[in-house]
Amino acid sequence: MPLPQEFIEELKARNGIEEVVSDYVNLKRRGRTFVGLCPFHSEKTPSFTVYPDNNSFYCFGCGAGGDAITFIEKISNLDYREAVRTLAQRAGMTVPESEEDRGLAKLRIRLYALNREAARFYHAVLLSEQGKTGREYFEQRGLLRKTISHFGLGYAPPSRFALVDYLGKKGFSAQEMIQANVAFSSRNGHPVDRFHNRVMFPIIDLRGNVIAFGGRVLGKEEPKYLNTSDTPVFSKGRNLFALNFAKDAADKSLILCEGYMDVIALHQAGFPNAVAGLGTALTPEQARLIAHYTKEVITSYDADEAGQKAASRSIPLLREAGLLVHILVVPDGKDPDEFIRSHGENGHARFQQLLDSCGNDVEYQLAKLKSSISLQTPEGKIRYLHAAAEVLAGLENDLERDVYAGKLAEEANVQRGSVIQQVNSIRKKKGHFQKKKEFRNFRRQVTGAQSKVNPEKQQNLRAARAEEILLGAMIDYPENSAYIIANLDPKMFITAFNRRVYAKIVGKMKDDKVGNLTDLSGSLTAEEMGVIAGYCARHSGKPTGKQEIDSCIRILVEENEKQNLRASSAEEIQHDYLPKLREIKK
């Protein structure tokens, strides 16, 4: 059931697009619009534009666009209803609930309760005689009982039916267990425990709900770590382990670790600002989540090759989220957990020394280059300077580039001006490449090449362009709608996607509604909204006049006649189509 129009209009009025977007993007006014660096793709020059006049945004670089609801959908990876709830909460409004909403809300409540019971079960088993194997593992890793209790750690016994039998007695159905991903369906249709013979790490959201689990196997099975897949209450890429605790200690920085045990060991050692990802590479959503709680992050990945690669991959994501990045490398190839345990009572002090002395991401990248390239030969020095200049060219802050260029010149005993010249040359090349890339993306959008939203556009370019102008004219300037609707039947639209959008606007008009972007967002995907926002953005500030509207309508009439022509016989062409075409062109 769609949300009431009155509610949507009030939601839109209370959530101006520039105010919503500015919570996530640094915007600068440019005439009647605002511009900034797109939060949905990496770019050096702003192609992300906000249009307060029609409450929309559009990125000319990647094609993301829509209204305030679409923006929240994309930036927070939410569905439409969740995005509406987020904006309603921001504005102090209550969302009218439909039967479908109430059903989903009930499901989530059930899954939260199920996960809570599962966590209690695993924890109780760990503390029982049956959990001796799990307790021994945690004791070997140096965990105290109070730490085990604080994190709610547990043990999944070897039986494949221990949890499902327990949850069944608690009143949970097999379907609910499978939906929570704590069980899967066997060939005979009975639920089977997903986790067995593993120590268990409950994953808790910021409101204290158990939303998922991570399990480490104690035998020789693979995978070593098994994590809950995405469910109606959990998304791996949007959550961080232990952030529910760390957020209260994140005033200065957060420590980003690779694994659960690293985080737990750091918390036990007196570093409650440690968090970790959830079995996947760091995502942009997780980087933005970190940026909500701190301005500085220290990555503390494992010292092995895989850990250092993960640290390197995280740098651009964290920088793009606006974070100051430091890289901590634990000596002797140890991970944070091993390092702290190896120093016993001095673990806290020794790890604090590492934190105090760790360099930022630029220093880390330069040190890695220096360790892999010999500076003892002219060839090696040149290779190092070229590679280091590439690193500096990626810095957006002029002052930051200037400082490191001076250090690099002094270190390599070369002129500072030579280093700056090389850095600027690389930046210029990258700028040209980026502009070419953005132009290619823009051309693909305009021509419909490889368009998933409107795949018919490329083969019907003339008609599709006319359709886009008409739709943009109706959404941006609703006063045009009545005239266009009176002169153009939806059947005259050539491409199916544009025909569907036009039909929706016609339906809105029949119900005495305007048919703007926000009216459409409930029935279109975020990708479709981006395409429609592009129609509006390409003609922003240029009202479409009656002459251009008539021209577009004429084009669609002609293109329809051409399509009819292809299906007509020679006799029909002579006696029917040609006279009509002559009449159109008069």
**Residues near 482 by Cβ (< 8 Å), separated by ≥ 6?**
509
Give CA–CA dist 83/69, Å, rounded: 6
Length of the chain counted residue by residue: 586
Q: Which of 50, 47, 44 is nearest to 62 (CA)?
A: 47
**For residue 143, what is the domain's CATH number?**
3.90.980.10
Give 171-187 pLDDT, tens digit per residue: 999 999 999 999 999 98
The model's pLDDT over 543-561, given as tens digits with 9 standing for 90+, comes to 788 899 999 999 999 999 8
> Is the per-residue pLDDT at 106 higher than 60?
yes
Q: Average the pLDDT over each of 100-114, 116-130, 145-159 and give the range with the smallest value.
A: 100-114
Q: Report the distance separating Cα 150 and Cα 352, nearest Å.
A: 23
Lowest mean pLDDT among 95-104, 154-163, 467-476: 95-104
Do both 229 and 109 map to the same domain?
yes
Q: Does residue 439 belong to any structural domain of this protein?
A: no
Residue 16 is predicted with a pLDDT of 93
Amino acid at 579: P
Check whether residue 270 and residue 197 sit in a common domain: no
Q: Which band of pLDDT confidence, cut at 50, 70 and 90, is reported for residue 110? A: very high
For the chain, state the CA radius of gyration: 29
Over pLDDT 90: what percentage of the chain? Answer: 56
Domain boundary among 426, 444, 478: 426
Lowest mean pLDDT among 69-73, 270-274, 571-575: 571-575
Q: What is the CATH number of the domain that holds 513?
A: 1.10.860.10
- Minimal CA–CA distance to 489: which of 556, 562, 565, 580? 556
* Sign of the torsion angle spanned by Cα atoms 442, 537, 61, 520: negative
H/E segment holding residue 113: helix 99-127
**pLDDT category of residue 493 using cuts at 50, 70 and 90:** very high
- Give domain status of residue 448, yes or no: no
Tell whether 113 and 201 lie within a shared domain: yes
| pLDDT above 90 (res 152) | yes
Confidence of residue 570 (pLDDT cuts 50, 70, 90): low
- Mean of per-residue pLDDT scores for the chain: 88
More confident residue, 134 or 311: 134
Cβ-based neighbours of 268, under 8 Å, separated by 6 or more = 142, 143, 144, 147
Count Cα neighbours of 288 within 13 Å in the Cβ-side half-sphere: 15
Indicate whether 432 belongs to any domain.
Answer: no
Q: Does residue 56 surpass a pLDDT of 90? A: yes
Paired tokens of 405? 């260029």
User: Of the residues 70, 91, 112, which one is the last residue of a structural domain?
Assistant: 91
| 60 and 108 part of one domain | no
d(CA 204, CA 17): 32
Answer yes or no: do 52 and 66 share one domain: yes
Residue among 334, 386, 326 nearest 356 (CA): 326
* pLDDT score, position 485: 92
Q: What is the pTM of this model?
A: 0.74
The number of distinct structural domains making up the chain is 5
Classify residue 434: in a domain, yes or no. no
Q: Is there a single domain that holds both residue 143 and residue 87?
A: no
The pLDDT value recorded for residue 1 is 57
156 in any annotated domain: yes
Please determine, for residue 273, whether its predicted confidence score (pLDDT) is greater than 70. Answer: yes
In the prediction, which pLDDT does 433 show?
76
Neighbours of 428 (CB within 10 A): 11
Which whole number is the average pLDDT over 250-273? Answer: 94
Are residues 513 and 577 located together in one domain of the fold? yes
Phi, psi dihedral angles at 577 (to 5 degrees) = -70, -50
pLDDT attached to residue 181: 97
**Helix (H/G/I), strand (E/B), else coil: 387:** helix
Any idea which of 82-86, 367-371, 563-567 has the lowest mean pLDDT? Answer: 563-567
| Domain assignment present for 438 | no
The verdict on 55 and 143 lying in the same domain is no
CATH of the domain at 34: 3.90.580.10
Rounded-to-integer distance, Cα 219 and Cα 520, Å: 53
Tell me how far apart the alpha carbons of residues 255 and 272 are, in angstroms, rounded to a whole number: 9
Cα separation, 354 vs 274, in Å, equals 14
Q: Assess whether 123 and 198 both reside in one domain.
A: yes
State residue 586's pLDDT score: 57
Q: Which of 56-70, 493-507, 510-524 has the lowest mean pLDDT?
A: 510-524
> So what's the pLDDT on residue 304?
77
Cα–Cα distance for residue pair 507/490, rounded to 1 Å? 11
**What pLDDT is attached to residue 281?**
86
Whether 343 and 381 share a structural domain:
no
Q: Are 12 and 513 in contact (CB under 8 A)?
A: no
Q: Choose one of 315, 340, 359: the last residue of a domain.
A: 359
Same domain assignment for residues 578 and 463: yes
Instruction: Name, in order, each residue with C-beta under 8 angstroms of 70's C-beta and a sequence gap of 6 or more.
Output: 83, 521, 526, 529, 530, 533
Note whether residue 431 is domain-resident.
no
Query: How confident is the model at residue 438, as a pLDDT?
Result: 65
Q: Is residue 447 part of a domain?
A: no
Could you list the residue range(s) of the whole structural domain that residue 191 is in? 101-234
Alpha-carbon distances of 436 from 17, 422, 540, rounded to whole Å: 29, 21, 23
Cis amide leading into 378 (omega within 30): no
* Sign of the alpha-carbon dihedral angle for 445, 451, 457, 458: positive
Whether 541 shows a pLDDT value over 80: the answer reads no
CATH number at residue 380: 1.20.50
- Residue 171: what pLDDT? 97
> Is the pLDDT confidence value at 42 over 90?
no
Q: Is 491 in the same domain as 561?
A: yes
Nearest by Cα to 411 from 421, 419, 423: 419
Q: What is the DSSP string of 134-195?
A: HHHHHHHTT--HHHHHHHT-EEE-S-SSHHHHHHHHTT--HHHHHHTTSEEE-TTS-EEES-
